[in-house]
Amino acid sequence: MNFDTGIRHLLPRYDEMLDVIVRCVPKNSDRILELGCGTGELSLKLLDKYPNAHIVAVDYSPRMLEFAKTKIDAAGYTDRWTEVEVDFGEWANNADLSPIGDGFNACVSSLAIHHLNDSMKLKLFQKIRKSLNSGGCFWNADPVLPATTELAEVFQEIQQEWAISQGTTLTEVHATMGISNPHGYSNQNQLASLSAHLEMLTTANFVPVEF
């Protein structure tokens, strides 16, 4: 089982989650920053949807970037996708480290920022805000700390039921995919509550989006 298959067995509606991010990015976005691009699934969806977009894709894993680049090249998007091998926690914490640039219309991330502790999340949000153009947006699809033990148990049940519906089990998926090794500022899951995320984003001078 490869990573792309494993993540779809692990997380219910993974593709739908990415599709929501893609739809939320403004149509006129010609410069997009993706933090923690992984194997390039979100990059591909964005490049498919927005033909004028150029993506700067960040990941600390050369292996993940290699997987992503293979997909991007195969899709014919080589000239519209730039890879940057760097720990985005280091980017947030070091003002002199600037391989990523700024002037972005949008920043997106999925299943990555929860590996930072809360103080680093805030620093990253502040760095993202500074990297965006006026009116730029930030969309983050990431797990949050469940408000109650009961909610955590419900989600665990949903995950198990989903895995079974895909012909496997959570135990098998975890055994196949393994765990993320600590790297730089990233560690195992360091979840924050939804309210904590919103407070940090407000502190970083983001404003809510009204639907």
pLDDT reported for residue 189: 86
pLDDT in tens, 49-66: 999 999 999 999 999 999
pLDDT in tens, 160-211: 999 999 999 999 998 888 777 778 888 888 999 999 999 999 999 999 876 5
Q: Give dist(CA 140, CA 123) in Å, integer.
A: 15
DSSP code string of 66-82: HHHHHHHHHTT-GGGEE
Domain 3-203 bears CATH identifier 3.40.50.880: no
pLDDT in tens, 55-94: 999 999 999 999 999 999 999 999 999 999 999 999 998 8
Quick one: tokens of 125? Answer: 């949000």
Quick one: tokens of 40? Answer: 């390039």
How close are the terminal C-alpha atoms of the chain, in Å? 38
Task: Please tell me the pTM assigned to this model.
Answer: 0.94
Domain boundaries, the chain: 3-203
Q: Which residue has the tokens 């003002």?
A: 95
